[in-house]
Structure 1
Amino acid sequence: MSLTEREQGTASVPSTPPAGGRRPVPTVADVVRAVTAGPLPVRITGYDGSAVGPADAGFTLSIRSERGLSYLLTAPGDLGMARAYVSGDLTLHGVHLGDPYEALRVLKDELRLRPPALADGLALVRGLGWERLLLPPPPPPQEAAPRWKRMMNGLRHSRSRDSTVISHHYDVSNAFYERVLGPSMTYTCAVFRDTDDTLEQAQAAKYDLAAGKLALKAGMRLLDVGCGWGGMVRHAAREYGVQALGVTLSKAQAQWAQAAIEREGLADLAEVRYLDYRDAPREHFDAVSSIGLTEHIGVRNYPDYFRTLRDRLRPGGRLLNHCITRAHNRAPHRSGAFIDRYVFPDGELAGPGRLISELHDAGLEVHHEENLRQHYALTLAAWCRNLVTHWDECVAEVGEGTARVWGLYMAGSRMAFERNDIQLHQVLATRNGPAGVNGYPLRPDWTA
């Protein structure tokens, strides 16, 4: 076999043992060649000293241990890759771990995977040992339990289970989030007037856009459900003189947000409570905002969710729902294995049409819809830059495995928004009074 054949990944795995009867142990390069087709866009090296792919490739992917190879073999696809990457058994050279966007783009566009031929697959398994498939290594500690095991915490989207999965994602470390999200502590899509806007400018613009759509004015009462670290609550109180209440299922978020409210002298106007949105005060607010909560609700629960928000609105009051969606209504609701195990356990997304239908069916009237997906790609790029800048501090705070999760997740999500695999929609609706009266103007009364 020539070096050129081996480098291009065109050779097959030996399926018959050599003279003497001892079957050679396949190398990492053998495994890679068996499951890829065509030229490799990256260099791949193994713990056993083998290598495949062009030596002058821009990126090198290193499988650093037998455990890493076992992760890849026992959970083919994004889950196995994630396990190996998060554990440090697989690493990328040529990009920063806080922002592997460029390497992910090359892998997605140029790496061609294929199932190995039957004979090659059997030869690999026999050579590597059946125990690699029968006894997979334990997953990294950052991985959440599979969906079936989460049943111990209740049915999907029950109160107890929602509390557990929200804590998994948001109670990582407030100090970590401060470094990644920046001073605004806002973990939702920003709105960029120009690509030269800073992240802080864009987050302030997002809150101003939300406030404008809700027609917030001094003296009004706002309920912000899934309020995070209180960004919308504090902005509405500080900039518009609104009496604002935020609720979140993350205890760490609520503590940080309430401390920020006290620090900024907003306690007479703003409050954040550690509370399920379903337990928010049964009062009639002038406006309700939901910015980044719908992703955690579960699509089957949309009817109850939107009725719950409607019931908190006075007649004529406005609701702004801001959330990630699928690009179309036929897409599956549940997320892939990596997102479900490492980022948003139990998270679900629907198409924008489903959202609008559910809002109408809950007795709300939709007036305006806007897709901000390109803005979310810019937001994620900015968060990755923050992670790169503060990498050492973030690793010291949460460990390298968790920092790797965030770099991988944010870079991958940026690419998904850029390519219209997912979107971000703001939908504005009113709760109408008798005879359809809603106070909504003939033309939108906010500025873009």
Structure 2
Amino acid sequence: MTTTSARIRIADAIGEILPHGVPFRFTAYDGSSAGPPDARVHLHLANERGLSFMLTAPGDLGMARAYVSGDLELEGVHPGDPYEAMATVMDDLRPKLPSPSDAFRILRGLGLSHLKPPPPPPQEHLPRWRRTLEGLRHSKNRDAAVIHHHYDVSNEFYEHVLGPSMTYTCAAFPHEDATLEEAQAYKYDLVARKIGLKPGMTLLDVGCGWGGMARHAAREYGVKAIGVTLSEQQAQWAQRAIERDGLADLAEVRFGDYRDVAERDFDAISSIGLTEHIGVRNYPGYFRFLFDRLRPGGRLLNHCITRPDNHSRASAGAFIDRYVFPDGELTGSGKIISVMQDTGFEVRHEENLREHYARTLAGWNRNLEANWDACVKEAGLGTSRVWGLYMAGSRLAFERNEIQLHQVLGVRPDAAGNAHFPLRPDWEG
């Protein structure tokens, strides 16, 4: 029997927390080990700082801090695509919460000095309570700060990860063998057809990223398009691409908040990957703003990540909130549809593309792995590890129906109730 004063080897402590066995090979700096010696996935805890990270923030945040800092090493899989490692852990990891007395015994055996939190990695954003210094949640200043944290990493970094389309949203694969680039182009055209674009129309694309939708609408449909993004680097890249493609007479990308768009009577609005950043409480104001910017008969296509139900907690987990999408919130498609209807939209169509997002993420992980050295040179090892980890984890979540991707098409009817909509959807013809 281990006494309360005895030292505990790290692997033995893990064995107590995982009584059903360790599904991967684990080794630690104290010489201890656990799990099958021939396991495909091997985690190595390299130093005491890594142990402190995991003890002071149990769960995904502590492990992420140790991994991003290089204190928790992943062997057997490439850091650009740790999908296999994450699948192994999520499939077979069955921790048992120790009793308070056992928890104290384990902590004392590992060393209570490890309960002093080390400074987090520089890639980590502030905790939510400290973000109030940047403004109230989803205020313009705070939204700008959190968007800068994620999207202004480096345009060159994103070129390596996203590929030539520079599209950071779910693609739509027209067939099993479609490439990522083909699927991104198909997604833009699917949106364009759903909102009924025709030459001479006007389009507002909110949260436009690097301007892919605005450029597609201008180039393929002769539409006058305005894109808006809170990322200055995105706006600069997009405007250069517009000028390079000879589309400056039709397309424009602005650096700013969508709430500052003064123009009205747009024929169509696309919102591709923005709603996740709005905040569920702000949905009524968000959809009301978009409704007011449309002419009667105009269409809105809202494309965003959702929960598989309408009652789960909206906020993301600790790792996603601190390292990937600070202040991001997700809810079910039913909530989105109900708010759109309450705002005045007539919802005419919706579909779930979650399997498509899993494929999209797999493509981004492959790009990150293939361009790993260039990505590390551009953005640093820690940031590259963050992106590999979160994209692989998100792929698993889409595959396992823990999150979804819904496109919801709404129309602003005219005063007589006419939606100016065909008897049957015509975008798949």
Aligned to 1:286: 267
When normalised by structure 1's length, the TM-score is 0.94
What is the alpha-carbon distance in structure 2 between the residues aligned to residue 120 and residue 360 of structure 1? Answer: 53
**Structure 1 counterpart of 2:111, from 117, 129, 153:** 129
Q: CA-to-partner distance for each residue in 1:267-303, whole Å, 9 max, x for gaps?
A: 0110000010101123110000000000000000000
Contact 2:276 2:328 in 1 (8 A): yes
1:226 Cα deviation from its structure 2 partner: 0.2
Give the number of the structure whose alpha-carbon radius of gyration is greater. Answer: 1
Aligned to 1:3: none
What is the alpha-carbon distance in structure 2 between the residues aligned to residue 391 and residue 167 of structure 1? Answer: 23
Amino acid in structure 1 at the alignment position of 2:122: P
Amino acid in structure 2 at the alignment position of 1:397: E
Aligned to 1:210: 191
Contact 1:431 1:438 in 2 (8 A): yes
1:171 Cα deviation from its structure 2 partner: 0.3
What is the alpha-carbon distance in structure 1 between the residues aligned to residue 102 and residue 428 of structure 2? Answer: 62
Aligned to 2:3: 15
What is the alpha-carbon distance in structure 2 between the residues aligned to residue 122 and residue 445 of structure 1? Answer: 64
**Structure 1 counterpart of 2:202, from 221, 224, 228:** 221
Where in structure 2 are the equivalents of 1:91-130 lying within 5 Å? 91-130=73-112
1:118 Cα deviation from its structure 2 partner: 4.2
Aligned to 1:87: 69
Contact 2:287 2:339 in 1 (8 A): yes
SS in 2 for 1:68: helix
**Structure 2 counterpart of 1:163, from 120, 130, 144:** 144
SS in 1 for 2:416: helix
1:126 Cα deviation from its structure 2 partner: 2.1
Aligned to 1:411: 392
Where in structure 2 are the equivalents of 1:34-433 lying within 5 Å? 34-133=16-115, 135-433=116-414
1:36 Cα deviation from its structure 2 partner: 1.1
SS in 1 for 2:128: coil
SS in 2 for 1:151: helix
Q: 5+ unaligned residues in a row in structure 1: which ranges?
A: 1-11, 17-22
Contact 1:282 1:311 in 2 (8 A): no
1:361 Cα deviation from its structure 2 partner: 0.6
What is the alpha-carbon distance in structure 2 between the residues aligned to residue 379 and residue 195 of structure 1? Answer: 12
What is the alpha-carbon distance in structure 1 between the residues aligned to residue 331 and residue 261 of structure 2? Answer: 24
1:129 Cα deviation from its structure 2 partner: 2.9
SS in 2 for 1:401: helix
SS in 2 for 1:434: coil
Aligned to 2:415: 434
Amino acid in structure 2 at the alignment position of 1:291: I
In the alignment, does 2:14 pair up with 1:32?
yes
What is the alpha-carbon distance in structure 1 between the residues aligned to residue 111 and residue 75 of structure 2? Answer: 29
What is the alpha-carbon distance in structure 2 between the residues aligned to residue 384 and residue 370 of structure 1? Answer: 25
Q: Which range is displaced more, 156-165 or 437-446? A: 437-446
1:114 Cα deviation from its structure 2 partner: 1.3
Q: CA-to-partner distance for each residue in 1:56-104, whole Å, 9 max, x for gaps?
A: 1111111111000111111011111110111111121111001111111
1:410 Cα deviation from its structure 2 partner: 0.2
Contact 2:357 2:395 in 1 (8 A): yes
Q: Which range is displaced more, 89-98 or 24-33? A: 24-33
Contact 1:321 1:426 in 2 (8 A): yes
CA RMSD of aligned residues (A): 1.1
Amino acid in structure 1 at the alignment position of 2:147: I
SS in 2 for 1:127: helix
1:24 Cα deviation from its structure 2 partner: 4.1
SS in 2 for 1:266: coil
When normalised by structure 2's length, the TM-score is 0.98
Contact 1:15 1:120 in 2 (8 A): no
